[in-house]
A and B are shown apart, each in its own frame.
Chain A
């Protein structure tokens, strides 16, 4: 496994470097530690797949360098970089058996057959397909085929990193859970450097130790799932992570109070600046309390999704969402309160610190 460094990488498709170049990746400068589990999270078109393809060698970046363990691999081909990639839909060699599929990368590199057999059997155990070794790959289910794709990457012992490009897209929701925990166990057991691209925040947060949130070709925030959840640096991160996303309400701030419409809210501390053009208060639905005391709001809809209820309400002319536990009651004349632990302030969409 290797540490991967992205050194000021920018990429415009078509190699266009003039002033009219459209950059799919605006500027990425980051290091993926050896053995880490990372997720690249963002909506379609944010550049995450482009970044993944640059790491795997399918695209050469128009600017910048890529380093594996300090070695410049920017101009190396895909084979030479020794990475493994799992794609959105299972890519397997239909005509071969499961065993031969896994043996393929090793045989291509001239590994002696006894070693091939040993590695393939180990890998079959790892991915749980030991009983299916002699079956034709064509007739298996989607999740089994994805496991074969994964296995082909794991079978090589010199792999620098395993890259996943939205691998659970064709898998049923129930199997997604099984596959995800298996991936996590694999990571824990073997310490592979894994980079996982997705637009699904649940997948990203449950899989990764560190999540890289991207938007419009740039990295917006890098952090652990908890950090991204509790302290999103940008309103986009607040919106994108969490279901439903963060409530963002325009506010005015003076000293330690924020004013939304006609309501005032105590802030946990004062803020330094107030010269920014646009001030917003961000609070996640998990921190909006519904009860009998607090600020007035009118409830528009209650969605019962089993493990909790999502309450949609109108507060000072803004739409707001709150999460209420399974058995909790929603009073007829509901009032809302903001839990101070969840209050964030944003100036021009970027987070500002609230001092003590």
Chain B
């Protein structure tokens, strides 16, 4: 179990990591999700022991490892740029951590072959990394990480430099590959889509703070605050600021959006409503009234259409099934399902969570 308690990292007066407290269990896959420069790499470096926190403590299985350097920590790390020893063959690359640890040759051979098998590298064992494709180079780096049998494996956007389809393939394989070792996995990414596909737990990061941590699908469906909801949305979250009066949120043009049942008691005030693009639709759902919005652009992805809409001064994206052919500047009627909206108060905190929690 890896515990971070109130960890802060300040460099040259700027806070790279602010007061982070996290508990990661053995055998879990944890995703660090956030835009670039949100602190994902800094946090991973602190977990690995490459950097020392300015404040706070880090515990591994109950033992305080805050000042312990990375060589003593039994950590494996995989980077975005395929980092391999260029002069060694794939076999030697994978064997290197074992050689450093002084393991017997017979055991090295067995472990290397096992890792190569797992990552489909067996036909390439004699090649040097420069003679491999990008995907194969990254697989070599991954094999080197597995063979170490580390208790903590850190992956810093490992698939970002790979082609789309290769990324899909490797991403599907990763959980299986690491499942057996029982280590703690930490995977950093900027793509919400990737977090959802990997599953496990997700910690959303924004400007050095962890805004929420929990099972991925829950953080996605029930964000605690607006920042988490926005970090976790791809396409970007649709938002609009609305006043609440009585049992309705009032939209422009006299249209009312009923307040969801669980939130009936909240004060009459201005709230930010957030909703995912697929909760906006062309057919009525629940008890929402039609909203007349103007189409600005259309994007077709084969089986679905992304319709970019302008409403009042908000810009929204609607995900519609099938191929639509709206013209730009055309007005369409769309419906919002009140059961699926997220309501945030003026400080950005989720109202639903406040009620439940």
The interface of chain A, by Cβ under 8 A from chain B, is 43-45, 142, 172-174, 177-178, 180-181, 184-185, 188, 199-202, 205-207, 225-226, 228-230, 239-245, 284, 286, 303-307, 326
Q: Indicate whether A43 sits within 8 Å of B163 (C-beta atoms), given known contacts A181-B299, A205-B301, A206-B301.
A: yes
Is B234's CB under 8 angstroms from A173's CB? yes
Say yes or no: is B196 at the interface (Cβ < 8 Å to chain A): yes
> How far is it, in angstroms, between the C-alpha of A323 and the C-alpha of B19 when the chains are bound?
40
Is B164's CB under 8 angstroms from A200's CB? yes
Chain A neighbourhood of B220, CB < 8 A: 306
Number of CB contacts from chain A to chain B under 8 A: 95
Using CB atoms, name the residue of chain A closest to B191.
A173
Chain B 270-315 interface residues, beta-carbon cutoff 8 Å to A = 276-278, 296-297, 299-303, 306, 308
Is A225's CB under 8 angstroms from B191's CB? no
Is A184's CB under 8 angstroms from B197's CB? no
Smallest CB separation, B187 vs chain A (Å)? 15
> How far is it, in angstroms, between the C-alpha of A228 and the C-alpha of B133 when the chains are bound?
27
Q: A201, A241, A307 — which one has the most chain B CB atoms within 10 A of its CB? A: A307
Chain B 197-234 interface residues, beta-carbon cutoff 8 Å to A = 197, 199, 217, 220-221, 230, 233-234
> How far is it, in angstroms, between the C-alpha of A45 and the C-alpha of B134 when the chains are bound?
11
Is A205's CB under 8 angstroms from B302's CB? yes
Interface membership of chain B positions 161-201, coded 1 if the CB is closer than 8 angstroms to chain A and 0 otherwise: 00111101000000000000000000000111100110100
Is B199's CB under 8 angstroms from A326's CB? no
Interface membership of chain B positions 143-164, coded 1 if the CB is closer than 8 angstroms to chain A and 0 otherwise: 0000000000000000000011
8 cross-chain pairs, A with B, having the tightest CB-CB distances, nearest first: A229-B302, A206-B299, A305-B196, A307-B278, A199-B163, A200-B164, A205-B301, A225-B300
Say yes or no: is B56 at the interface (Cβ < 8 Å to chain A): no
Chain A neighbourhood of B308, CB < 8 A: 181
Chain B neighbourhood of A206, CB < 8 A: 299-301, 306
Chain A neighbourhood of B302, CB < 8 A: 205, 225-226, 228-230, 241-242
Using CB atoms, name the residue of chain B closest to A239.
B165
Q: Indicate whether A177 sits within 8 Å of B317 (C-beta atoms), given known contacts A172-B35, A307-B278.
A: yes
Smallest CB separation, A212 vs chain B (Å)? 15
> How far is it, in angstroms, between the C-alpha of A113 and the C-alpha of B319 when the chains are bound?
46
Is B35's CB under 8 angstroms from A181's CB? no
Is A188's CB under 8 angstroms from B328's CB? yes
Chain A neighbourhood of B230, CB < 8 A: 174
Smallest CB separation, A166 vs chain B (Å)? 10
Using CB atoms, name the residue of chain B closest to A310.
B197
Say yes or no: is B235 at the interface (Cβ < 8 Å to chain A): yes
Smallest CB separation, B304 vs chain A (Å)? 9
Smallest CB separation, B58 vs chain A (Å)? 28
Smallest CB separation, A224 vs chain B (Å)? 8
> How far is it, in angstroms, between the C-alpha of A181 and the C-alpha of B217 when the chains are bound?
28
